[in-house]
Chain A
């Protein structure tokens, strides 16, 4: 009985007030070897895959990567010029705009967490400067945000978790709304959109940056289904995340630079470097 009461107390303290984060992160250091051990076969498997790959296969892949790199580099040249121009114009307008995100690459640890939550474990933690609420991206789009930071690892809540809401806007016309997770991977919903809202199947949703957590302008999802049923007050809009939430291995952790170092970064970037990537 005492144990049950204690457990219920814990649930309340953890869920409602989040008092136990320190306790949880301490315990998580204890179970870290377990997580590490469980993800070991997968890591070894990938290592072996690299060792045993055939030469022609490697050469083909190399070739494809080089071609892709060329295309991307060409686009990047344009991008930098455009970005600098954009910043100058925004300076003239006097609007605050965050640019110059620092990025860190982390790997997913392949362990199965609770199958009824949409969350993943990554192998970077407070030791690498990861902080609570930090946005997490993959190569394509927004994946989620950090909800628990442990010394050696961190838990990322994906945007499809039922607890997650993300402020977005429709890229085509700037219509602002919120993307809610459903608990299913590959499914987001846009609740409370009036029936005459200008949304079409195929629309790209990007982060609006209004929540203050995510930098604006990153792609989130693509609208796949719209139902306007008479009798329902709102339209049902379903979107599929552009991030490959169930397939990615590497994720990007983003730091948004404070405004002070922004001008510095701006002048540097206009002259030379691509976004700083700390390996």
Chain B
């Protein structure tokens, strides 16, 4: 990349902001257990698509903003998202060529890791252990993954983000 085409970092920022927005959008009480981890999904996609540019420190920053937005302990999401980004970067060459089903299962594992780390932090800071519904967002998230993947890929190709 010698002449440096338009890098269009703002697309990444905009998609992450949208994910953040979806995270705090008010939902009826019954729906709150089904809210997928939007920020984690978006980050996983960008780590897959642009592994050279989007990585752990993006995840860390996004996690920090997510912590401030949702009022959790500072660093909770920063920790879990940076670990997820690191895992994605390790696996990205394999994940990219996986068929959709296999890819979704891998993404599910990544989402579970994110939840597990958050649970550890909650436990370490003295929060009560949530019920099994705590894991529901990962399932919703993985069901949404093919859609997120296609939308973001089309967006990326359309806007020529490289």
Enumerate chain A interface residues (CB-CB to B < 8 A): 1, 3-4, 6-11, 13-15, 20, 23-24, 27-28, 30-31, 34-35, 37-39, 41-42, 110-117, 119, 121, 148, 155, 162-163, 182-183, 246
Closest chain-B Cβ to A14's Cβ sits at a distance in Å of 4
Check A14/B127 contact, CB under 8 A, given A38-B24, A115-B33.
Answer: no
Nearest 5 A-B pairs (CB), nearest first? Answer: A10-B75, A7-B79, A14-B74, A11-B75, A3-B82
Known: A3-B82, A11-B74, A31-B65. A113 touches B127 (CB 8 A): no
What distance in Å separates the Cβ of B112 from its nearest Cβ neighbour in chain A? 17
> Which residue of B17, B35, B71, B82 has the most chain A CB atoms within 10 A of its CB atom?
B71
Chain B residues packing against A (C-beta within 8 Å):
17, 20-21, 23-27, 29, 32-33, 35, 56-57, 59-60, 63-65, 68-76, 78-79, 82-83, 86, 121-122, 124-128, 130, 134
The reply to whether B126 and A111 contact each other, CB–CB distance below 8 Å, is no
Contacts of A15 in B (CB 8 A): 73, 125
Tell me, rounded to whole Å, the shortest Cβ–Cβ distance linking A194 to chain B. 25
Chain B binding surface, main DSSP class: helix
Closest residue of chain A to B134, judged by CB?
A: A116
Q: Which of B33, B57, B71 contacts A155 (CB 8 A)?
A: B71
Is the CB–CB distance between A162 and B127 below 8 Å? yes
Query: Can you list 15 A-B pairs, Cβ within 8 angstroms, ordered by A?
Result: A1-B86, A4-B79, A7-B75, A7-B78, A11-B75, A11-B76, A13-B74, A14-B73, A14-B74, A37-B21, A111-B26, A112-B26, A112-B32, A113-B70, A246-B29
Of A35, A162, A183, the residue contacting B24 (CB under 8 A) is A35
Nearest CB in chain B: distance from A19 CB, A = 10
CA distance A117 to B32 in the complex (A): 13
Interface of A is mostly: helix
- The answer to whether residues A10 and B74 also contact, given A4-B83, A111-B26 and a CB cut-off of 8 A, is yes
Q: Given A34-B69, A112-B26, verify A117-B127 contact (CB < 8 Å).
A: yes
- The docked-state distance in angstroms from the alpha carbon of A119 to that of B73 is 13
Whole-angstrom distance between the alpha carbons of A163 and B72 in the complex?
Answer: 13
Pairwise interchain contact A116-B69, C-beta atoms closer than 8 A: no
B125 → A minimal CB distance (Å): 5
Given A7-B60, A38-B25, A31-B75 contact (CB < 8 Å)? no
A3 near B65: Cβ-Cβ < 8 Å: no
Closest B residue to A163 by beta carbon equals B126
Given contacts A4-B83, A7-B82, contact A114 B70 (CB under 8 A): yes
> CB-nearest residue of chain A relative to B56?
A3
* Chain B: CB-nearest residue to A148: B71
A182 to B128, CA, bound (A): 8
Given known A-B contacts A35-B69, A183-B127, A7 and B63 have beta carbons under 8 A apart: yes
A3 touches B78 (CB 8 A): yes
Q: How far is the CA of A1 from the CA of B68 in the complex (A)?
A: 22
B72 touches A114 (CB 8 A): yes
**Given A7-B78, A15-B125, A112 and B25 touching (CB < 8 A)?**
yes
How far apart sit A45 and B132, CA to CA, in the bound complex (Å)? 34
From A24, A31, A117, B74 is in contact (CB under 8 Å) with A24
Contact of A14 with B75 at beta-carbon distance under 8 Å, contacts A7-B60, A35-B24, A110-B26 already known: yes
Contacts of A9 in B (CB 8 A): 75
Q: Are B126 and A162 within 8 A (Cβ)?
A: yes
How far is A191 from B41 in the complex, measured between Cα atoms in Å?
A: 41
- The listed residue (B65, B75, B128) touching A162 by CB distance below 8 A is B128
Residues in A neighbouring B26, C-beta threshold 8 A:
38-39, 41-42, 110-112
Contact, CB under 8 Å: B17 / A34: yes
Could you list 7 further interchain pairs (A-B, Cβ under 8 angstroms) beyond the known A3-B56, A14-B75?
Answer: A3-B78, A14-B73, A30-B65, A31-B65, A113-B71, A115-B35, A116-B127
